[in-house]
Amino acid sequence: MKRFRKSIITGVFVIIAIVVVFWAKSQYVVPIIMYHKIDGNSATSRLSVSPESFKRQMSFLKNQHYNVVKLEELTGMIKENGAHPGSSPGFLGRNTERPLWPRMYKIPPKTIAITFDDGYESNYISAFPVLKQLGLHATIFIIPALVGTDGYATWSQIIEMSESGFITIGSHTMTHSWLPTQPVQRLDQEIRDSKIAIESHLDKEVASFSYPLGGFNKDVREKVAQAGYKIAVATNPGKKYPKHDIFAMKRLRISSTSDNLFVFWFEITGFYTWIKEHRDKD
């Protein structure tokens, strides 16, 4: 009788463990990390990470054998794993029905993408040499109207990074405007014309887009898709938003709080997004 009871208890624990593992995997969001400035102002600006911290973080990815991929590669990975990259949540006018069992994505372990917003000159001065030295790829989203102005990379610097093979250049709109409130004609200028402007300088396709301040809605998202981009990144659309919508991929902002490598590791496990979304208000 004791042996039977022990077998029952063991079986229950095994079932619970399986359910927990399945649930945890269903919450996984491929980590896309987001930087802004790589300079010495991390103590006073949340948008800054020190060059020393950045180098430690990139060395960690390299030494721990992370699968650092080009942002555009995630599109193929998500499609190959049976996702529905064109799906959107209910507030965008789509079907909000959720499957009984959440979809799990079999993206290769330790897959991660590195991105930078705004195109600051510190990306060229402090981040680019580290990425090139370690052989890591990243995407830098630039604002054509600000290229070459105070604090921003010049076209010659941007072209050099693009030609290196380690940096992909994406669009962060023409002027970094808040897109959800813009009229249709202005949306075309910000989304489509910025793509054309960057392509004319680089002489290569621009396939990725970043929403300024993470702001988008149904119309904005459709404009990005219609403009010919293959992938777009937001920041944190919220827990009600699909985990892997290729036109609004969720990202994790890296700031001075990630100077501690344990914190950095925890943020890039793929499960931190779930924690952050349930900690923060929508």
What global pTM score does this model have? 0.84
134 to 61, 193, 259: CA distances (angstroms): 10, 34, 19
pLDDT, position 161: 98
Q: Is it the case that residue 255 has pLDDT exceeding 60? A: yes
Q: Shortest CA distance to 232 belongs to which of 162, 173, 175?
A: 173
> Are 248 and 241 contacting, i.e. CB atoms less than 8 angstroms apart?
yes
* Token code pair at residue 30: 């491929």
Residue type, position 276, single letter: K
What band does 278 get if pLDDT is binned at 50, 70 and 90?
low
Q: Is it the case that residue 88 has pLDDT exceeding 60? A: no
What band does 82 get if pLDDT is binned at 50, 70 and 90?
low
What band does 97 get if pLDDT is binned at 50, 70 and 90?
very low
Give 43-61 pLDDT, tens digit per residue: 778 889 999 999 999 999 9
User: What is the residue-averaged pLDDT of the chain?
Assistant: 84
Give 138-162 pLDDT, tens digit per residue: 999 999 999 999 999 999 999 999 9
Report the Cα–Cα distance between both ends of the chain, in Å, rounded. 52
How far is Cα 173 from Cα 195, in angstroms, rounded to an integer?
Answer: 8
Lowest mean pLDDT among 69-83, 137-151, 268-282: 268-282
pLDDT, position 100: 34
Residue type, position 33, single letter: I
Q: Is 75 left (phi over 0), alpha (psi -120 to 50) or beta?
A: alpha
Higher-confidence position of 43 and 134:
134
> Are 141 and 208 contacting, i.e. CB atoms less than 8 angstroms apart?
yes
How far is Cα 130 from Cα 192, in angstroms, rounded to an integer?
Answer: 32
Q: What is the mean pLDDT of residues 80-98?
A: 47
Lowest mean pLDDT among 33-37, 114-118, 234-238: 234-238
b or e along 46-68 (b: 16 or more beta carbons within 10 Å of the residue's beta carbon)? ebbbbbebbbbbbeebeeeebeb
Q: What is the mean pLDDT of residues 111-125?
A: 98
For 31-93+109-279, CATH number? Answer: 3.20.20.370
* Token code pair at residue 26: 């269903």
Q: Where are the domains of the chain?
A: 31-93+109-279
83 to 28, 59, 65, 173, 180: CA distances (angstroms): 13, 32, 26, 27, 26
Q: What is the mean pLDDT of residues 65-80?
A: 92
Q: Is it the case that residue 137 has pLDDT exceeding 80? A: yes
Q: Is it the case that residue 227 has pLDDT exceeding 50? A: yes
